[in-house]
Chain A
Amino acid sequence: MRYHSPLTFEAASRVAAGASGVTRFLAGGTDVLVQLRAGSVTPDDLIDLKRIPGVGSITREGDGGWTIGAAVSGAALGATPGLVSDWPGVVEGMGLVGSTQVQGRATLAGNLCNGSPAADGVPGLVAAGATATVVGPEGRRRMAIADIPAGPGRTALQPGEVIAAIHLPARGAQGGDAYERFIPRTEMDIAVVGCAVNLRLDGDTIVEARVALGAVAPTVLLVEACAQAIVGTRLDEAALDALAGAARAAAKPISDKRGTAEFRTHVAGVLARRVAVTAYTRAKGSRAQGHRAKGAAQ
């Protein structure tokens, strides 16, 4: 195994593009190193990204958006109050990953590129409409996060491409997001179903929504029918029922050791309802400045 620690993403990309065997980027290493120790994936080239200047920074952009470096840990996200207040759903997804120790290392980009359909950090990014800066042999490009997962363990990144940063749009007024997962235990488990909702209100009415489901298909799903079920509503019972129905209709899960397809489909609806209520409550809370709503609007 060859270990590389390039100082630029362009250099990292060159190493990856020139490598012919098994290649992995090393961010937090909470997937890569575990797979290495278990003997399931032994890279020929391991390219550590953490020496590249700026990979550990979280930056608020002039337009109110956020740029998150490729090596920012889940714990660092949670320790950035402005980000927590703008995108609590994104932050709480990474806050569910593993344990305190794992969160001290695990990154959003690693969570995305490991390619697990059950990744907890990804639905929140997709619902938020996040994008990534990708550096490759052909130069830099922006990709929607939603376009990156390609199947279990696979991404749409081309050989030699590496994510340099993840970008969240400006939160803007009256927006809220949330993420929740179902696991049979309280922690240290893999999502049986995950759901993220991001919405914006005008008064009490939802005017924009994005709903993402995890662990119910080979990749995270951005479900347009779920958004349609709640846009134009005040998230009343009928809207919630329609949302749950749309989530169940969109879910295409498999039965495996972590849950049956039937159960996953059912829970997708339950979670969509619950998460939408949380996001709605947060959106209303963010309107009343400095005053966060307590409890869910049920």
Chain B
Amino acid sequence: MWVCTQGQWYIRQMCAGVLGLEASQLRVTPSEIGGGFGGKTTIFMEPLALALSRKAGGRPVKLVMSRSEVLRATGPTASASMDVTLGMKSDGTLTAARAEFRMQGGAFPGAPVDMALFCCFAPYHIPAIHHLGYDVLANRPKCAAYRAPGSPMGAFAVESLIDEMARELGLDPLAVRRTNAVREGMKASYGPTFARIGLEEVLDAVSAHPNLQVPLGPNQGRGIATGYWFNHGGETSVSMAIGEDGTVQVSVGTPDIGGSRASIGLMVAETLGIPYEDVRVNVVETGALGVNEPTHGSRATFASGKAAVVATGQAIREMCRRAAAAWDIDPEAVTWRDGAAHPAGENAGRFEPMTIAEIGASMGKTGGPISGHHEATPDGVGASFGTHVVDVEVDPETGRTTVLRYLVVQDAGRAIHPSYVEGQYQGGAAQGIGWALNEEYVYGEDGRLQNPIFLDYRVPVASDLPMIDTVIVEVPNPGHPYGVRGVGETGITPPLPAIANAIHAATGKRIRHLPITPAKIIKAISG
């Protein structure tokens, strides 16, 4: 089966479950993916294709959902309503917090109310916290995972309130966030203790950014908000193998939805000391590896990358052994650097370095193929914080909001491939701008979706957006050999409140319902 999915093993498991197949009888190949965003971590009509193929005597069957079917049937994120109470001293110190969230995701449990609660106070050190969440069941379309499930809604409530309180107390909203920011060793709002995290560094980088010095004109406003995502480890299985010409292939089970192949290739090349061009990373089918969880939770570069580095270490040790055997010295006396085995020192003997290409060319005669393999549910996940600053201008006559300037500052841990990291930051901001201003599922009285096309489901078009400025903060994650945290999801957590806060600054009106459409702004201004 060929499927556009974030998780080929999930597809296998669910299709096998639905159709009563043995998992090993089904091979699922993930096709090249356009976007994932969480929606492609489950099955929709895939088992139907299999069932039809069976009925047709095993002939190929192709099923494609139209855009309208995707919008009608695959599920948006959950709908949400939130009540938040915060205690804040006149100097901005947070003393206590209470959140009651209700999330609705259709007829079955699964709305991400837990994650929304876990994330909403995570940036702050608050002595007393109470979370209460309801997973509300209703006769509405099902929900699906959507980039940092729950966190943007939680942030919308909490970050809007912090902004309101800071303004009322005459405090700088950024300074309030700095005052209460969590750091290493503090207990997170949802229980665990933070290892090394980079929120303070993020807030410092925000303060230093020139966008904050740009003077604002009439009807313009600046909004700030912070967001959080846990990042994730998850079941992971990775293999790598040395080719007969010394180039390297890496097999991962996490579909590439934002540049993970390039990042994993860079880490393997760095570990081996060979050019990036000599490493090829492939996303493979279910028959080729042990079970992998989907690319979700911003885990691919972290988890598959970590496993690939461990697997590469195994191959390096084996290559050192082959060199040791050829030189007839102890394997312990061989070290690896710059893509070659070297004698560890003077005492080991004088031998010309043996390159990966030489070792690969002769491996058939020196003991057979050389490869590495690692499987784990890795620990050492590094959480990530981001802060966004947006300047908007609101047309007071039509209520139309124009985004003038947008800054994303986020801790990447280590940005292995900086332009892909930047792409994730910008994509999160663009997606969040759409959510904040115009995107919405409009249902008619008959309960049917009224706008299942991109003409009326209004995602931002290119000309709606300014160039999104980014600052990549690097506070390496000690739990990863190259310091990776994961960058895919944090970027969509601050835009909703950042934009609401900017609109408040521009108009003096606090709008508590998303999207903040021109009609809502006009109603607020005139009401």
Contact = CB atoms under 8 A, between A and B. Distances in A.
Contacts of B442: 257
B451 A185 contact: no
Query: Which of B397, B451, B455, B461 neighbours the largest number of chain A CB atoms within 10 Å of its CB?
Result: B397
Contacts of B139: none
A184 B400 contact: yes
Given A184-B438, A270-B397, A189 B463 contact: no
Interface in B183-233: none
Interface residues of B, number: 22
Nearest to B519: A263
B71 to A, nearest CB: 12
Interface in A262-283: 262-263, 266-267, 270
Contact of A262 (B398, B437, B438, B519): B519
A188 interface: yes
A142 interface: no
Query: Which of A185, A187, A259 neighbours the largest number of chain B CB atoms within 10 Å of its CB?
Result: A185
Nearest to B434: A185
Contacts of A190: 455-456
A184 B451 CA distance: 15
Given A182-B400, A186-B463, A257 B451 contact: yes
Nearest to A98: B455
A259 B519 contact: yes
B458 interface: yes
A186 B438 CA distance: 12
Interface in B422-462: 437-438, 442, 450-451, 455-456, 458, 460-461
Nearest to B515: A184
A260 interface: yes
A292 interface: no
Interface string A36-52: 00000000000000000
Nearest to B460: A185
Contacts of A260: 519
Contacts of B518: 182, 184, 263, 267
Interface in A35-72: none
A184 B458 contact: yes
Contacts of B397: 270
Contacts of B398: 182, 267, 270
Contacts of A189: 455, 458
Interface string B487-527: 00000000000000000000000000000011100110010
Contacts, number: 46
Interface residues of A, number: 18
Given A189-B455, A257-B456, A258-B456, A266 B461 contact: no
Contacts of A267: 398, 518
Contacts of B399: 263
Interface in B239-269: none
Contacts of A256: 450
Given A259-B519, A270-B398, A184 B455 contact: no
B400 A188 contact: no
Contacts of B460: 185
A258 B451 CA distance: 9
Contacts of A257: 442, 450-451, 456
B394 to A, nearest CB: 12
A271 B442 CA distance: 26
Nearest to B453: A38
Contact of B461 (A186, A259, A263): A186
Nearest to A266: B522
A188 B450 CA distance: 18
B464 interface: yes
Query: Which of B398, B455, B463, B526 neighbours the largest number of chain A CB atoms within 10 Å of its CB?
Result: B398
A269 to B, nearest CB: 9
Interface string A149-188: 0000000000000000000000000000000001011111
A197 to B, nearest CB: 17
Contact of B463 (A182, A184, A187): A187
Nearest to B437: A184
Nearest to A264: B519
Interface in B390-412: 397-400
A151 B29 CA distance: 51
Contacts of B522: 263, 266
Contacts of B451: 257
B519 A185 contact: no
Nearest to B518: A184
A169 B306 CA distance: 73
B519 A187 contact: no
Contacts of A186: 461, 463-464
A184 B460 CA distance: 10
Query: Which of A256, A257, A258 neighbours the largest number of chain B CB atoms within 10 Å of its CB?
Result: A257
A96 to B, nearest CB: 13
A280 B518 CA distance: 27
B455 A185 contact: no
Contacts of B450: 256-257
Contacts of B400: 182, 184
A258 B453 CA distance: 12
Nearest to B67: A38
A185 B519 CA distance: 13
A228 B396 CA distance: 27
Contacts of A263: 399, 518-519, 522-523
A188 B455 contact: yes
Nearest to A244: B397
A262 B527 CA distance: 13
Contacts of A182: 398, 400, 518
Contacts of A266: 522, 526
A270 B517 CA distance: 17
Nearest to B440: A257
A185 B456 CA distance: 11
Query: Which of A184, A186, A258 neighbours the largest number of chain B CB atoms within 10 Å of its CB?
Result: A184
Contacts of A185: 438, 458, 460-461, 464
Interface string B459-479: 011011000000000000000
26 contacts: A182-B398, A182-B400, A182-B518, A184-B400, A184-B437, A184-B438, A184-B458, A185-B460, A186-B461, A187-B463, A188-B455, A189-B455, A189-B458, A256-B450, A257-B442, A259-B519, A260-B519, A262-B519, A262-B523, A263-B519, A263-B522, A263-B523, A266-B522, A266-B526, A267-B398, A270-B397
Q: 7 smallest A-B Cβ distances: which pairs?
A: A263-B519, A186-B463, A257-B442, A257-B450, A270-B397, A257-B451, A186-B464
Interface of A: 182, 184-190, 256-260, 262-263, 266-267, 270
Given A187-B461, A257-B456, A263-B518, 18 more contacts: A182-B518, A184-B437, A184-B438, A184-B517, A185-B438, A185-B461, A187-B463, A189-B458, A190-B455, A257-B442, A259-B519, A262-B519, A262-B523, A263-B519, A263-B522, A267-B518, A270-B397, A270-B398
